[in-house]
Amino acid sequence: MITINKINLCLALCLSLTSLQSLAFDWTSSNVQYLHGSGYLLGSKDRDIITVEHSDGWKYGQNFFFVDTIYHEENLNGFQFEAYGEIYSYLSASKITGLPIKYGPIKDIGLTLGFNGGTQPTQTPFRAYLAGASLQFDLPLFKYLQLDFLAYKNEYLNTASFQLTPSWELSLDNLGLPIVFRGFMDYVSAGGAGPAWTVLFQPQILLDVGRYYGHKQQLMLGMEYQYWHNKFGLMNFDESLPQSVVIFRF
């Protein structure tokens, strides 16, 4: 099991990366999230999660990563810690060619490479490799809307599959409402996470508290709903629970 020192080191490294003001970046956006939920099916029912999330744009595309540090209590063993993260790099066709790529609501297309990994299970920690294409959309009220089509390979399975992921952030600020709706959905076909296909759906509805002290969307409070169908690729193993969430952007 990962130690608390390793957890703290992981968080420190992520925060250091997100604070770099490199000239190579056209823009950066980072946040720290705290989530608390009850109703998990494996291990302790209650979980506290600290998430570090970062995205940036550079000359030829974009990068994105997040790291979850998960705290939960296991019966007689005291508090247990685990970590999970994902990282993606997007190469933009419009940036590479210097030509605008727009068709209807589609504003860009690109190549995507990704890696998912965690500290569990202990003997064979999860690893998955992803590659494919992404579409980016330009729609009213959306800060971003992206659709990924990715080949998906679990390091410990002989099968390969595919993943379909829409992700979004929608702000109602232009309508005079301090509301942000953001989230993603992962669909992974059978043979990816396990023998069954799986869906992970995690939308967040947030109140923009920062708006009231002059820093829009810096501090946000709200709820996240987590729905996992066939969790870990196990047939009929479904998980559904709400989580409170606090987000601070920097």
The H or E element spanning position 93 is helix 93-97
For residue 94 the two structure tokens come to 């419009």
Cα gap 155→96, rounded to integer Å = 31
CA distances from 47 to 38, 82, 126 (A): 6, 11, 20
> pTM (2 decimals)?
0.87
Superfamily grouping for domain 4-249: Nucleoside-specific channel-forming protein, Tsx-like (2.40.230.20)
Average pLDDT value for the chain: 90
Q: Is the pLDDT of residue 111 over 60?
A: yes
* CB-CB contact of 77 with 43 (8 Å): no
Q: pLDDT tier at 4 (50, 70, 90 boundaries)? A: very low
149-185 pLDDT, tens digit per residue, is 999 999 989 988 999 999 999 999 989 999 999 999 9
First to last CA, the chain: 31
Angle at 230 between CA 226 and CA 231, to 5 degrees: 55
Contact residues for 141 (Cβ-Cβ < 8 A; gap 6+)? 170, 171, 172, 174, 175
Ranges assigned E (strand) in the chain: 25-38, 46-58, 61-73, 79-92, 106-118, 127-137, 142-154, 161-171, 179-188, 198-208, 219-229, 239-249
Structural domain boundaries in the chain: 4-249
For residue 66 the two structure tokens come to 């997040």
Cα gap 131→38, rounded to integer Å = 34
31-90 pLDDT, tens digit per residue, is 999 999 999 987 788 999 999 999 999 999 999 999 999 998 765 555 688 999 999 999
Q: Is the pLDDT of residue 24 over 90?
A: no
